[in-house]
Structure 1
Amino acid sequence: MTGHIFKPEWQCALDDLCARVYGIRSAVGDAWPYHCDPKDGAWDTTADGDWCGGHWVECLRIVGELTGHRAIEAESAQRAESLRPYLERDDAFRGHRFYYGAARQYAWTGNERFRTLALAAAYAVRSMAMKGSGAMPIGTQVQVRSTKLVGRDKACVDNVHPNLILDWWGHKETGDPTFVVGARRHLDHTIDQYVCEDYSTIEFRDYDPETGMPKGAHYTLLGANNDSCWSRGQAWAVAGYLRAWEATRDPRYLSVGRKLLEYWISNSDESLVPPYDFKDPLLKTDRASVPLDTSASAVVVEQLARMSILKDLPPEAEYVASKTPLFVEGLLRHLTSVDDKRAKSRGVLLNGCFNRPKNYATASELIWGTAYLLFALYYLKTGRVVE
C-alpha cells in the first residue's frame, strides 16, 4: 500500500472514539479505566492503570492533539509521570506502560525526562532475558488483575509485543545493539517454541531458571484448553512479528507475521473479529455461546495501520498492509454510533473478552481495545506515528 487511505466513514468512527475518550475521562475521574459493561455503562477502574495504563495515557494525548484540548494533553503528561514508581516493578508489561506512556510523551513534548524514563524502562525490561535461550519472562510482579500467574521462570507468546516494543524504540534512540540482539533471540526462540506447524500459537511455557530452556508441556491461562489457540495471544504474535519486520526489515519475521495473519483470516468470519479462542471445542457445537474478542482484532489493526502508512513496501508487506481496510471495517461493526441501542454512548467498542476461563469481563468494552482502534485510525488519519 504505497499510499495510505482514510475513508469518510473512518472519520466518523474516529470522532466517535474521541467523544468516547471524553466520556470515559468524565466517568473515571482520577482513576484509570479498565473495562466497562455496555449494558449499564459502569466502568471498573484501577488505582494505577494495571498493565494498560500507558494505553490510557496515549488515548488522552491523541485526543488532546486531535481536538486541540490542551488540558487533556496536560493530563496525559501528568499521568505518564505518575507511572514512574512502576519502573522497578519486575513486569513484562513495563514495555507497554512506558512505550505508550513515556516514549510517546517524549516524542510529542520533547521533554527529556520522558526520554530518560523510557530508556530506563527499556534497559530494565531487556535485563529480564533468561540465560541460555534469551526468552523474555512475564516477571515476578506482572500485573494483570484477573490473573495471578507470575515468575521469571514463565514466558508466553504475548511477550513478542509487550517485552520487545521498547527494544525497537530504544535501539532507534541510542543505536545500542543490545536491544536488537536481545529482541532477535526472543523472537527466534518464540518461533521455535510457540508457533505451531499450522501457524496457530500456544500460550505458556515454564522454564529451567539455570538454562533458560523450556521444561514440561505447554499450557494456557486464558484459552479454552492447553492445546487451544487464544486469539489475543495470536494477535500479540501477529503484531509482534510484523513490528519486528518494521524495525529490522528481516524477511523471516515478515514471513512469520504473514502466516500467523493468514491463520487468523482462515479461522475467522468475514468481519475478521475472532472468537476469544480459535480452537474452543464449543465452536463446533454451540458457536453462539463462544465470546468474540474485539480487543484481539484491535491489536492486529494497530500494527496493520502502522504498515499501511509506510512507503515502498515490498510485495509481501504490501499484501499484509492491504488487509488493513478489511480489519478496520470488520471491527467498526462492533463500534457504537449516535443513537445506537447496543450501548449508552457512541464510540463504545463492544464484545471484548478479557478472561473467559474466569468468566471475567467476557462481553465488555476493554480499554486497550478502544486504545488500539483509536491508535490505528489516528495513524491512518495523520499518516504518521508519534514516536
Structure 2
Amino acid sequence: MRELHWADEALDTVLRRVGETARQVGERFPLYADPADGHWTTTGRGSWAGGFWAGLLWLRARRTGAPADRAAAAACTARLAPWTEADTATRGLILWYGTALGDGGPLRARAARSALAAYDPALGLVPWGAALGGPRSRARADGVPGLVPLLASAGTGGETVAAGHLHRHLDLCLDGSDTGRPRPSWEFTEATGWQAHPEPEPGWTRGEAWLLLAVADALLRARTPAWRPKRLHESAQLLLEQGEFLTGTLVPPALARYPDGPLDTSAAVIGAVALLKLALLPGPEAATYRTRAEDVLRHLVRTHLTPPGTPHPAGMLRDGCYDMTSGTAVRHALVWGDFFLALGLAALRGHVDLRRV
C-alpha cells in the first residue's frame, strides 16, 4: 500500500475546520463557504444538504472520541427529524448520510418507512417530490444516492423498492439518454409519459458522480435477484466510461460542455468515494479503482484544500460549484464536498467501513 500519512494529516485539518464551522453556525446548517474568508452561508433546516453537516460532526466525534463532540453530532442529527415526512427524494441524502455514522438508528428507521410509503408503483420510483420546489413527478440523479441504502434498510420490501427506484433512474438517465452522457433529469406527465427535463443538463458532472455512487452502493448490497447485479455491473462500466472517472481530469468541470469553466471538486470527491466502494468488490479492476481514488484525493488535498499557515481558513475544499446555471457559489467550499473528502480520507486510513455508509 502506498504511503498515506498525508491522508491522516488532511483528515485532521478538515475536522479541525468542522469545529470552527460549528462555532460559526450554531444550530443552523452550513451550505457553502466563501473561499476568501471561510464565511458560511447557512440554512435554518438544512435543505437537502443538512445530512452532510451531521455526517461531518459524526466523523469528528469518531475521530476524537470526545463526549462533547458526540453530543453535538447527536443534537444535529435530531434537528433533521422534520425531513422524515418531507415530500422529497433527497431524504436519502439528508437522512442516510446524517445517520449512518452515528446513533441515528430510530430516526433512520422512521425515515426508511416514510420513504417506502412514498414509492409510486406507477412511476416505478420515489418521486423527486415538491418539498424543494418544481414539478413533483420527476426523476433526478441526485434523488438516488442515499435513498438506495435508506430504502434497503426497511427490510425485504424495502430492498425490492430500493432496487426498483435505482433501476428506473438507470432506465431513464442511462438508457434514455441520446447525448453520449447520462441525462440527469426527467419529468412525468399523464399526457406525455417520461420526457427529458432541461435542468440539470447532460454533462452535469456531479449528477454523474451521484449515479455512480448509488450504483456502487447497490452492488455492495446486491444479494437478491431484485438488484439485477449483472445490469448494475454494466451500468457501473457505462458510467465510468461516459463520466470519464478513470480517464478524465482529476477534477472535472461543473458542466462538461464548459471544460474551461468552473470546476467542481465536490463531483471529484463523490466520484472518488464511489470508486473506493467499487474497489471493495471482488475483481481485477479493484486495484485500479482504489489507485484512481487515491490519486483524486491526493490531488484535492494538495491543490484545493486550504492548508494550515495560510491567510485563508485551513481545511476548506475550495473550487466546488453549487450551481453554475444560476451563478451561485461557483468556486466555494461546499458542505457535502467537505463531507465526502473527510469520508474518503477516513476510508483510506481504515477508520470507516464504506460498506456501512
Both structures adopt the same fold (TM-score exceeding 0.5): yes
Corresponding residue number in structure 1 for 2:66: 69
CA separation of 1:131/1:6 partners in 2, compared to 1, >3 Å: closer, same or farther?
farther
Question: Residue 383 of structure 1: CA displacement?
Answer: 4.8
Coordinate RMSD, CA, aligned: 2.4
Query: Which range is displaced more, 72-81 or 159-168?
Result: 159-168
One-letter identity of the residue aligned with 1:335: L
2:45 is the counterpart of 1:87: no
Instruction: Report the counterpart of residue 185 of structure 2 in structure 1.
Output: 204
Kindly state the Cα deviation for residue 197 of structure 1 after the two structures are TM-superposed. Answer: 6.5
- Report the residue type matching 1:180 in the other structure: E
Q: What is the CA distance between 1:269 and its match in structure 2?
A: 4.9
**Which residue number in structure 2 is paired with residue 105 of structure 1?**
102
Tell me if structure 1 keeps the 8 A contact 2:141–2:173: yes
294, 305, 308: which one aligns with 1:338:
308
The one of the two structures with greater contact order (alpha-carbon pairs below 8 A, sep at least 6) is: 1
Which letter does structure 1 place at the counterpart of 2:134? L
What are the Cα deviations for residues 266-301 of structure 1, in whole angstroms up to 9, with x where unaligned?
79754x211011134xx3xxx2xx110111112112
Identify the residue that residue 238 of structure 1 maps to in structure 2.
Answer: 212
1:326-374 CA deviation, whole Å, 9 max, x = no partner?
2212322211112345xx1111101010111111111110001001111
Alpha-carbon displacement from aligned partner over 1:62-109 (angstroms, at most 9, x marks no partner)? 112212332111011011112212221111121122212234323xxx
Distance 2:84 2:10 in 1: 34
Q: Distance in 2 between matches of 1:256 and 1:335?
A: 32
Looking at structure 2, the residues matched to 79 and 209 of structure 1 have their Cα atoms a distance apart, in angstroms, of 40
Instruction: Give, in angstroms, the shift of residue 190 of structure 1.
Output: 2.2
1:166 and 2:150 aligned:
yes
Give 2:199's match in structure 1, choosing from 216, 221, 224: 221
Label 1:64 to 1:383 Cα distance change in 2 as closer, same or farther (>3 A): closer
CA distance in 1, matches of 2:129, 2:326: 22
Q: Percent identity?
A: 26
* CA distance 1:189–1:5, change in 2 (3 Å): farther
Where does structure 2 lack aligned partners over 5 or more consecutive residues?
224-228
Identify which of 265, 277, 286 aligns with 2:244.
Answer: 265
Q: Does 1:136 align with 2:136?
A: no
Distance 2:73 2:6 in 1: 27
SS of equivalent residue, structure 2 residue 244: helix
User: Which piece of structure 1 moves more, 7-16 or 374-383?
Assistant: 374-383
If the length of structure 2 is used for normalisation, what is the TM-score?
0.89
Structure-2 residue corresponding to 1:110: none
**What is the Cα deviation at residue 231 of structure 1?**
0.8
In structure 1, runs of 5+ residues without a counterpart are 107-113, 143-147
Secondary structure of the structure 2 residue equivalent to 1:41: coil
Aligned length: 347
Residue 29 (structure 2) aligns with: 32
Question: Scaled by the length of structure 1, what TM-score is found?
Answer: 0.82
1:300 alignment counterpart: 271
Deviation at residue 128 of structure 1 after TM alignment:
2.3
Matched with 1:347 is 315
Contact conserved, 2:31 with 2:41, CA < 8 A, in 1? yes
Q: Does 83-92 or 364-373 show the bigger shift?
A: 83-92
For the 8 Å contact 2:185–2:200, the answer to whether it is kept is no
SS in 1 for 2:243: helix
Q: Which residue number corresponds to residue 320 of structure 1?
A: 289
> What is the SS of the residue equivalent to 2:31?
strand
Paired AA for residue 127 in structure 2: P
